[in-house]
Amino acid sequence: MDLKRIKEDTWMIALLALVVCAAFLLGGLARAIFIALSVGSIWLFFRTVNRRLFSVFPKHGDLPHDHIPKRLWRVFVEVILQYRVVRDRPVVGILHAAVLWGFFAFAWASAEHLQWGLRGLEKATEARTWYGTFVATWALAVLVAMIGLSFRRFVLRPKLLGKLSATSGIVAFLISALMATYLLGWRVLPIGSVAWKVNWWMHTSAFLLLLVVIPISKHLHLVLAPVTIFLRSETTSPMRALRVEGDDLGMIHFKDLGRKDVLDVDACVECGRCTQFCPANLAGGSLSPKEIILDMRKGLLSGGDIVTRTAAEKEQGKAFISEEDLFQCFSCGACEYVCPVGVEHVGRKILDLRRGLVSEGRITNDKVNQLFTTMERAPHNPWGIAHDTRQKLIESRQFPTFDGTQEWLFWLGCGLSFDQHGQAVAQAMKQILDFAGVSWGVLPRETCCGEPARRAGNEYLFLELSEKLIETFETARVKKLVSCCPHCTTMLDKDYRQIASYAKLHVGVMHHTELIAELLPRLPIKPSVVRATYHDPCYLARGRAITAAPRKILRSCGISVTEAAHHGQNTQCCGAGGAQLFVADDQRGQGQARVNELRFAELVETKTSTVVVACPYCPIMLRDAANHIQRDDVEIVDLAEIVAKTLQPKPDAELFLNSAALRVVPEKKQQT
């Protein structure tokens, strides 16, 4: 304990002694004891919160303050109504919600109870009102909920909850004691009797002990969850822009944590939902988003320095998180979608830690280093395929060149430029734009936006590629851009706006599902009744919260959508995100599966013969899974191809629906 803390504690003890003496002289021993216990409990509460939070709270990391009404509504829905808690685990969620709502019901009852400690127990009078009965009903409900939750925690002991915690048992006992002593004082024991007074002190002690236990346990989330939920990103958390001042190379040291990061690690409720829904963990990988957060908490509170290194260095105590775990992440956002307290694992933690490792040159993953080498060399795309391939597509299909006079720049990206199926999607999109009478064009030459590089942690390479692209956009006077790739869309609509030279261009960016949905009234669609399953891409559904537009388009085309078990924002990852398409290890250990195979198995359970996608990465992964189990009877098509096939042909219209277009990129057999 440092000298400053000793001095603060000494002053506090002296002040507490004076308060107790004054209370004793003015109101007697009972009142003095009550005040001493109350002041002492409150002091310990704030002292612990200060140690866990404010003493390590960083000066950097701006907290968001936009869309205040929307954020407040989110707090109401997710904190007061417990929406997320109930949504993903209904039975456990309702039990948890009952405890919270019970405490809301108890608010005034607790105030009435404590005021007798100041006024004197001898002055207590019986007041039977409807409110007392109302609270008693909730006390019974909370007792039932605590019995259910305690049985699950201490008897069933789900693996995801981790090791048993003494503080969990203490909190469960104290909450149950509060409910039981309230019920005894409400009707059973005569007001003012010795038994009633003993019961009053037991209730008061349980209440004050909760103040002491909460900040030293995971139950600090009761205080912090409303804050972290208010500050949470609406969609999957983005990577932060590196600070201009100082030597910011990404998250390397614990001092690099931002304010929201510190709040997150202290708010974690250790429920394990993030790990339960993590695709890497579901496939048998070692990545556990929950353990990432808990290891960061451990390192932060213990005064640790280095956050992440190799698994061997972690075992040696030189770091708290292993590189191997970080590079299993698909950046799909499933962990954040299910987190009930607003913890942001992806952009703010895992991807930033990758960036720190890369900036220090500490990457031991050969495939990651090979990806960087490929993208650093011309033609600067993750596949290393020559630009001639893209040029042949543009020339053979007569794509118009963007010269600044057209309304829309059609951004092909690497997926539509170099992949066989991607090129077929580009042709379908051309037909849609032409039928809608949209003025558009493509760049004669594109540079990769740098998405795989940045998601893998190479900030320098990303900035180098973005500089070329921003210069191209400025020269071409690009104002509106549409892309068929959610990854490119996210980069150009979020990551790039962190760069001042791009932000001032005010480029409007849309995914092709958004634009097609707007163009529907202008498209001569002839619906054909077909059943299909729509696979929501993670970067579209969770990254941009776009789930309704694709389904609207499919319905307009006469498609009857049969939903998979996981759909919408609760979609299951195909395994391509977070640069995993290019760096994932194809080898599988015992007990491991491939994420794309898990997702494909879920899609075929719908018994449809067509799977519709809206991302160039997803068909690569899903076809690989289909080939692995020899399911060539399942057609995997992009939503743009569905729309193009339903357009009524015109005499002068060119039909570009040859699905056997140039094959230039073999479908990658891979997946963790």
State pLDDT tens for residues 438-487.
999 999 999 999 999 999 999 999 999 999 999 999 999 999 999 999 99
Q: How confident is the model at residue 22 (pLDDT cuts 50, 70, 90)?
A: low
Percent of the chain with pLDDT over 90: 77
Asked whether 49 and 215 are in contact (CB, 8 A), the reply is yes
Q: Is the pLDDT assigned to residue 597 strictly greater than 70?
A: yes
Integer angstrom CA distances of residue 454 from 174, 288, 329, 457: 48, 22, 14, 5
pLDDT of residue 28: 62
Tell me which architecture the domain covering 379-518 has in CATH.
3-Layer(aba) Sandwich (3.40)
Average the pLDDT over 495-506 and give the result: 97
Give residues with Cβ within 8 angstroms of 614, minimum separation 6. Answer: 484, 486, 511, 512, 513, 534, 536, 537, 540, 550, 638, 639
Single pTM value for the model = 0.89
Tally of CA atoms within 13 A in the half-sphere of 36 that contains its CB? 16
Q: Is the pLDDT assigned to residue 622 strictly greater than 80?
A: yes
pLDDT of residue 659: 39
Q: Is the pLDDT assigned to residue 16 strictly greater than 70?
A: no
pLDDT of residue 639: 98
Q: How confident is the model at residue 663 (pLDDT cuts 50, 70, 90)?
A: very low
Q: What is the CATH number of domain 521-646?
A: 3.40.50
Asked whether 268 and 343 are in contact (CB, 8 A), the reply is yes
pLDDT of residue 205: 92
Query: Each residue of 239-249: pLDDT tens digit?
Result: 999 987 778 89
Q: How confident is the model at residue 660 (pLDDT cuts 50, 70, 90)?
A: very low
CATH match for 234-364 among 2.60.40, 3.40.720, 1.10.1060, 1.10.3470:
1.10.1060
**Of 664, 579, 666, 590, residue with least CA distance to 367:** 579
pLDDT of residue 21: 59
> 294 or 669: which carries more pLDDT confidence?
294
Q: How confident is the model at residue 623 (pLDDT cuts 50, 70, 90)?
A: very high
Percent of the chain with pLDDT over 70: 91
Average the pLDDT over 577-590 and give the result: 82
How does DSSP assign 513-572, residue by residue?
HHHHHHHGGGS-B----EEEEE---HHHHTTS---HHHHHHHHHTTEEE---SS-GGG--
Cα torsion 161, 167, 173, 179: sign: negative
pLDDT of residue 515: 98
Give residues with Cβ within 8 angstroms of 6, minimum separation 6. Answer: none
Same fold, 379-518 and 521-646: yes
Q: Is the pLDDT assigned to residue 519 strictly greater than 80?
A: yes
Per-domain boundaries in the chain: 1-55, 89-228, 234-364, 379-518, 521-646
pLDDT of residue 6: 56
Average the pLDDT over 379-390 and give the result: 93
Average the pLDDT over 112-132 and give the result: 82
> 63 or 618: which carries more pLDDT confidence?
618
The maximal CA–CA distance of the chain, rounded, in angstroms, is 101
Average the pLDDT over 180-205 and give the result: 91
Structure tokens at 41: 């409990």
